[in-house]
Amino acid sequence: MKLKQTDFETIQSKIYDYCGINLHEGKQALVRSRLMKRIRKLELRGFSHYIEFLERDTSGEEFLALVDVLTTNKTSFFRESQHFDFIVENVLPKINGRQVKWWSAGCSSGEEPVSCSIVLQEQNINARAVKILGTDISRDVIRKAKRGIYPANRIKNISPSIVKKYFNSGANGQCQIKKKVRKMITYGRLNLKKKWPLNGPFQVIMCRNVMIYFNRKTQKELVSRFWEILEPGGYLFLGHSESIASADRNFENISPAVYRKK
């Protein structure tokens, strides 16, 4: 089944206009393979027929399903562990004893906010003083995050003592996050390109391995909006392959992919 250039450009434009994700030319194979699964499920004839179906759907449900299948949700517990070391050594001593608001922007299926909650509890931070918000554009991964149930192989690289303290064993080779971890976290679906119904200021924002899917213009706009909702001296964590332009003097780069609001 061939994906015509015009059909690819239609999907490319719709996704960019909606959420800023840049499906450049190198993403054609990914778009084709993921859309084929959707086309088969809907029993449609091909990509052009799918686009017609998408545009006829006045409920908007199929467009949200399209967003779900085209967004990438690779993640793991304690990913880019140097950031968590930095948090323990440099961030937590400054915010301990305060009311803290923490945002995992692009939280996928919840591994990042869960990791944050565990780190905070390991450092004896008062759980009632911390609110962790996890958001993602995909409905599918937010549902998974809210359930807090993961295949056992997802925790194989976590120390057994941490697993014992914060995870319950379940059926069918699965494990569930314990209530004391989950009660720190609130999940919700959020499109980073649209208006944010959030009340700041935040002390910490983690938006790691998300901006790589945006073009430079969208990245710059997003960083500016993060600056507005962070408190002075607040921290922005990006993925290690991401950075803020050196010309942006509103943030100070204090560690690899770690920025502090001036």
Q: Catalytic amino acids? A: 34, 136
| Three-state SS letters, 124-152 | CCCHHHEEEEEEECCHHHHHHHHHCEEEH
Measured CA to CA in angstroms, residue 141 lies from 16, 65, 107, 146, 187 at distances of 20, 12, 8, 9, 10
Q: How many Å separate Cα 227 from the centre of its chain?
A: 18
Residue 215 is encoded by which pair of tokens?
Answer: 């073009």
Q: Single out the residue of 178, 206, 204, 181 nearest to residue 192, CA to CA.
A: 206
185 in Cβ contact with 110 (< 8 Å): yes
Residue with tokens 């305060």: 98
3-state helix, strand, coil in the chain (%, to 5): 45, 20, 30
254 in Cβ contact with 80 (< 8 Å): no
